[in-house]
A = this chain, B = another copy of it.
Amino acid sequence: MKEIIALREVRSFFVGGDLVRLSGLPIREIPTIPGAPLRCADPNGTYAVGQLYVQQYLQANPTASYPVHLWHGGGLTGACWETTPDGRPGWLDVFLRRGFDTYLTDAPERGRASWAPYPTINAEAPWHRTLEMAWWMFRFGPEGGYDPDPAKWRTYPDLKFPVEAAETFLKQFVARWGSRTSDAWAISAYAELLDQSDPGVVVAHSQGGLYALDLAARHPDRLLGLVLVEPVAPRDEQFNYAALNSTPILIVTGDNLTSRPALEAFCLRARAAGSAVKWLDLPQLGVTGNSHMLMMDTNNLAIAIQVLKWMEENISVIASR
């Protein structure tokens, strides 16, 4: 691991999205400067919707021969790959210190990618996840395990999520829209990003895994491999498993996995179609207590090292270029 992250450039850009024009809406007046008159705000006009926000870290002396993309899951942003909620380095730090050119994204409708006005453009209302729901969905503990009084928190045995920082973690939750709205925008924008970058490895979490698999099935030439962290498995009967043949896939999952049946079904089908999916099932390796947010767990760096080892063995030679 490099002690210094030496970068040629830190940059950002937007890809994908559409221009949408609204008309016939009433004008609003909004307060923007205390003490000044209300501002006349005309909502009629042109909006950009569905775009992807991309931060790009370009190494001064890359020691990896391909880039890595970090894709977050539902209700979160690229911030989930940066520092952990309790202040330790996240996986962005790992990939930067290992010399990878790294792309960190906010998917459409989240974070710096912005979100489309509703109900005027996006008919559906957004959904904000509560900490109560995250507690069991992200498997910190059982349903009802969060309480405003930390003394009453109930967590799973050996929990490796830094649960003392759970309320800090909540600060990075963002609104999400349902799959009918967001998925097409996200997949289209991610396809555009992959088209304009060198083929690389996508490291995708949760909902991001669903997008990554969709793209691997449709644009396998744009991807050298997939690392799917606690992914959502495709449920679509039309999913083209055979197209995954050429893409090495690593799945990494934590403890108390509720989506195990869906992931097992996915692996069966993918392997039957000829794909060499490798599943790093942490509890089966004796590593207990990892949550859905395993890139933030206390052993996040040890897991990252396992991922890097798989990449070294399965992607292509990581060498100076």
Chain A residues with a Cβ under 8 A of chain B: 4-14, 17, 19, 21-22, 28, 30-36, 41-48, 51, 53, 55, 57, 60, 74, 77-79, 82-83, 87, 89, 92-93, 96, 106, 111-112, 114-115, 117, 125-133, 146, 148, 167-168, 170-176, 178-180, 183, 207, 210, 232, 234-237
Evaluate whether A128 and B19 lie within 8 angstroms (CB atoms) in the complex, with A41-B133, A78-B112 already known.
Answer: no
A306 CB to nearest chain B CB (Å):
23
Q: What residue in chain B is nearest A32 (Cβ atoms)?
A: B179
Contact A17 B171 (CB under 8 A): yes
Evaluate whether A178 and B83 lie within 8 angstroms (CB atoms) in the complex, with A8-B4, A171-B17 already known.
Answer: no
Evaluate whether A92 and B10 lie within 8 angstroms (CB atoms) in the complex, with A48-B173, A114-B175 already known.
Answer: yes
* Copies in the assembly, this chain: 2
- Can you list 24 contacts pairing A with B, beta carbon distance less than 8 Å? A5-B7, A5-B10, A10-B57, A10-B82, A10-B96, A11-B83, A11-B93, A14-B168, A14-B171, A32-B178, A33-B210, A33-B235, A41-B133, A46-B148, A47-B170, A48-B131, A48-B173, A51-B171, A53-B172, A55-B82, A79-B112, A106-B111, A111-B112, A114-B173
Contact B132 A128 (CB under 8 A): no
6 closest residue pairs by CB, A with B? A45-B130, A35-B235, A45-B132, A14-B171, A12-B82, A48-B170
Cα of A63 to Cα of B148 in the assembled complex, Å = 45
Given contacts A4-B8, A30-B178, 19 further A-B contacts (CB under 8 A): A4-B6, A5-B8, A13-B83, A13-B87, A21-B148, A22-B130, A28-B127, A30-B127, A31-B178, A31-B179, A31-B180, A32-B74, A45-B131, A45-B146, A46-B132, A48-B131, A112-B172, A114-B171, A115-B175
Contact A235 B178 (CB under 8 A): no
Cα of A232 to Cα of B33 in the assembled complex, Å = 8
Contact A11 B89 (CB under 8 A): yes
Contact A112 B112 (CB under 8 A): yes
Provide the residues of chain B in CB contact with A128, threshold 8 Å.
Answer: 43, 47, 117
Provide the residues of chain B in CB contact with A34, threshold 8 Å.
Answer: 179-180, 183, 235-236
Provide the residues of chain B in CB contact with A129, threshold 8 Å.
Answer: 41
Cα of A96 to Cα of B175 in the assembled complex, Å = 32
Provide the residues of chain B in CB contact with A32, threshold 8 Å.
Answer: 74, 176, 178-179, 207
Cα of A60 to Cα of B5 in the assembled complex, Å = 8
A166 CB to nearest chain B CB (Å):
10
Evaluate whether A35 and B237 lie within 8 angstroms (CB atoms) in the complex, with A130-B43, A130-B47, A132-B46 already known.
Answer: yes
Provide the residues of chain B in CB contact with A13, threshold 8 Å.
Answer: 83, 87
Provide the residues of chain B in CB contact with A47, threshold 8 Å.
Answer: 128, 130-131, 170, 173
